[in-house]
Chains A and B, each alone.
Chain A
Amino acid sequence: MRALAWHGKHDVRVDTVDDPEIVNQRDCIIKVTATAICGSDLHLYDGYIPTMQAGDILGHEFMGEVVEVGAKSTLKKGQKVVVPFTIACGSCYHCGKHQYSACDNGLPADNQDIAQEIYGQPMSGLFGYSHMTGGYAGGQAEYVRVPFSDVGPIVIPDGVDDEKVLFLSDILPTGWMAAENAQIEPGDTVAVWGCGPVGLFAVQSAFLMGAERVIAIDHFPHRLDLAKKFGAETINYKESAVYEALMVMTGGIGPDAVIDSVGLEAHGFFVDNVVDQIKASTFLGTDRAHSIRQAIIACRKGGRVSMPAVYGGFIDKFPLGALMEKGLTLKTGQTHVQHYMPALLNAIMEGKIDTTFLISHRMDLEDAPKGYDMFKNNQNEVTKVVLKPGFN
């Protein structure tokens, strides 16, 4: 089959590789019909993520048609499914609590060592995202082996356009969980740092959960336009002082809840973080942790801080004092995708959530390397690239 493989920094190629097969009984094989490039794929592209190996197949946002099933899969050939980026078993204690991204069994035993070392306990597996998250081949390919296919993939009704449901795989549930973690109450003002895909879905979700006002913060004009389209007020941080603006806009109170969806934009771990824990204490740098600091300082007393943004290691000058003195609640975590998929599929089908607005570019899988280059170098216009095998 053809698949987008990582070969090194800024070197991704579409290679011909062996087709995947059923290995375990709960597996299925899907023929990919649509897959997207995620902001976090750029961290792989930029060579920041350790434990990558030349030839690794990328992609963790994908969907397709079931073409083969293992003996214990509950799927049927011909079904259209969207696959969660988190690989979770559905049978451990954490899956029982719907904390799917904390699944005990998604990672192969040998790959659990690194995460255990850094975080204390290993997390779930991820598709196409380095060997530290399992070394699973990703979805920017013609075919994918999907483990635990009886609990992960969600079946899509016939006749629904791929583009409407593709983002159930990651960024829509991630934006939704970000808003849920902000514990929004009717009448609240919610501030969202970052109008990338996750931030924009957080804006929509916050309104659906009863926020009266949402204030979105970014500097890319096109992304601010999109936030406005969903009813958010905006702050361009290149033009205005964010803290001062927020204080005036909220009558001196501060936002009731703040959402940091900047960070590393998604499921990232930075190389310095992992490889060298001493250097790690300085690596994130002021820039990258700036949004979470600003969010904590701006948040009203007794308010809520939601952090969907991914941080891999340690940060300096974290305003722990402000968090404590103001009595803030901080909620965060990788998305429990499997938990949110059914309700969000309904919301899409009922027209409550707009998903397709995000897609700026559609390309053939063969053109994926061009897609990575465009996504990296023009973040204003390129909001989302969707790849389709056989598109041309």
Chain B
Amino acid sequence: MTESDPRDDAPLSTSKRSDAVADATQDLADGKGSSIVARAVTINRPVGELFAYFRDFANLPSFMENVERIDVLDQRRSHWVVKGPAGKSYEWTSAITDEAQDGFIAWSSEDGADVPNSGRVEFRDAGARGTVVVATILYDPPGGVIGKLIAKMFQREPAIQARRDLRRFKQLMETGEIATAAMNRKQHEEELA
């Protein structure tokens, strides 16, 4: 690990250094994955409300478009079924490795995951602006670099998904609904399929 520059406050996920992934992984309780994606969004709602909604994993498919379903197994563990490119789906069981009420949730996939991943979602009170939500996700793209490219072509790359999912989370929390240009319910269902 290289010493990080004390005069550079930019988050590790934006680093141009090749070993930034390793550095970022160290901050996670149980790091898994070789690609890193981090996204921040400011949501004009109180931190408690956002944390509570997010912590109930059964809520997540309402704004995570590529998640087919999440079965909550117990307080810590949940089973994820996620759409991949070309009609494939990927599954894993995820366990919460650490958390703080209204603060953060860290997770890691258990052994045997189709897409080994780990990450952390932080909730930070931002006063009059609401709450800053930062999601940092580490993952091993299925099929390595080529798989990542293919997934990107099919718009199911985790970096793209994370960005859009956070926007949808913000829309749902701020407006009570998720924006759609669908003209009617049939079109809307096709969009969600």
Assign chain A's interface to a size class: 20 to 34
CB distance from A139 to the nearest CB of B (A): 13
Pick the contact of A106: B165, B179, B187 (CB < 8 A): B179
Task: Verify B179–A125 contact, CB threshold 8 A.
Answer: yes
* Residues of chain B with a CB closer than 8 A to A19's CB: 184
Task: Verify A104–B180 contact, CB threshold 8 A.
Answer: no
Pick the contact of B175: A20, A108, A135, A148 (CB < 8 A): A148
* Residues of chain A with a CB closer than 8 A to B168's CB: 109
B32 contacts the other chain (CB 8 A): no
* Residues of chain A with a CB closer than 8 A to B181's CB: 108, 111, 125, 134-137
0 or 1 for each of A12-41: is its CB under 8 Å from B? (1 = yes) = 000000111101111000000000000000
Task: Verify A72–B176 contact, CB threshold 8 A.
Answer: yes
Task: Verify B184–A18 contact, CB threshold 8 A.
Answer: yes
B61 contacts the other chain (CB 8 A): no
- Complex CA distance for A18 and B187, rounded to whole angstroms: 10
CB distance from B130 to the nearest CB of A (A): 7
- Complex CA distance for A137 and B182, rounded to whole angstroms: 8
Closest to B160 in A: A113
Pick the contact of A91: B174, B183, B185 (CB < 8 A): B174
0 or 1 for each of B83-120: is its CB under 8 Å from A? (1 = yes) = 00000000000000000000000000000000000000
CB distance from A26 to the nearest CB of B (A): 6
Task: Verify A23–B188 contact, CB threshold 8 A.
Answer: yes
0 or 1 for each of A98-132: is its CB under 8 Å from B? (1 = yes) = 00000011111111110000000000010000000
* Residues of chain B with a CB closer than 8 A to A104's CB: 170, 174
* Residues of chain A with a CB closer than 8 A to B183's CB: 18, 20-21, 23, 137, 145
B55 contacts the other chain (CB 8 A): no
A96 contacts the other chain (CB 8 A): yes
Task: Verify B184–A25 contact, CB threshold 8 A.
Answer: no
A92 contacts the other chain (CB 8 A): yes
- Complex CA distance for A92 and B181, rounded to whole angstroms: 19
Closest to B155 in A: A110
Task: Verify A91–B175 contact, CB threshold 8 A.
Answer: yes
* Residues of chain A with a CB closer than 8 A to B188's CB: 23
A89 contacts the other chain (CB 8 A): yes
- Complex CA distance for A125 and B182, rounded to whole angstroms: 13
**Extra 19 A-B pairs, beta carbons < 8 Å, given A21-B185, A135-B181:** A18-B183, A23-B180, A23-B184, A25-B176, A26-B177, A89-B171, A89-B175, A92-B175, A93-B130, A108-B180, A108-B181, A109-B165, A109-B167, A109-B171, A111-B181, A125-B181, A134-B181, A145-B183, A145-B184
Closest 6 CB pairs of A and B: A109-B167, A21-B184, A135-B181, A109-B164, A24-B177, A89-B175
Would you mind naming 9 contact pairs between A and B with Cβ atoms under 8 Å apart? Answer: A20-B184, A26-B175, A90-B175, A105-B179, A108-B179, A109-B178, A110-B155, A113-B164, A137-B183
Binding site for A on B (CB under 8 A): 42, 44, 65, 129-130, 155, 160, 163-165, 167-168, 170-171, 174-188
